[in-house]
Amino acid sequence: AQSVSQHNHHVILSEAASLELGCNYSYGGTVNLFWYVQYPGQHLQLLLKYFSGDPLVKGIKGFEAEFIKSKFSFNLRKPSVQWSDTAEYFCAVSDRGSTLGRLYFGRGTQLTVWP
């Protein structure tokens, strides 16, 4: 079975700091990769996804992620965070040949941004 590791459980930053959240997965086959965000009291929202092509993926709200196949990684980045980015971030993986909704999630990283 696949597994997804998110290295940091809780990250605390000041506004304007740069962000990088780590995500590694274990699976030998071809994968689709996702980052979701959950703001307090809200549903999970898709930030960005990678299916194929350019390994540098740009998402909403200034987020981007880079797929490094050799490292089985899909780290999330943002050059300058805002207070409104305070949320929980989930990395997820699916088998390319599997159904879209069969996702394997990491345990999440809580990001707190101080104004």
Whether 91 and 31 have beta carbons less than 8 Å apart is answered as: no
Q: Which of 106, 104, 111 is nearest to 85 (CA)?
A: 111
Q: Does 105 bind other proteins (CB under 8 A)?
A: yes
Stretch that binds other proteins, among 17-25, 64-72, 74-82, 95-103 (CB under 8 A): 95-103
Considering beta carbons, is residue 17 or 105 the nearer one to other proteins? 105
Among 57, 75, 90, 113, the residue binding other proteins under the rule CB under 8 A is 90
29 binds other proteins (CB under 8 A): no
Task: Compute the distance between CA of residue 100 and CA of residue 109 in angstroms, rounded to an integer.
Answer: 23
| Residue 93 per-residue DSSP state | E
Rule CB under 8 A: is residue 59 a binding residue for other proteins?
A: no
Ranges of beta strands (E only) in 15-62 are 19-21, 23-26, 31-38, 44-50, 56-58
Asked if residue 8 binds other proteins (CB under 8 A), the reply is: no
Interface residues with other proteins (CB under 8 A) are 4, 6, 32, 36, 41-46, 49, 51-52, 90, 92, 98-108
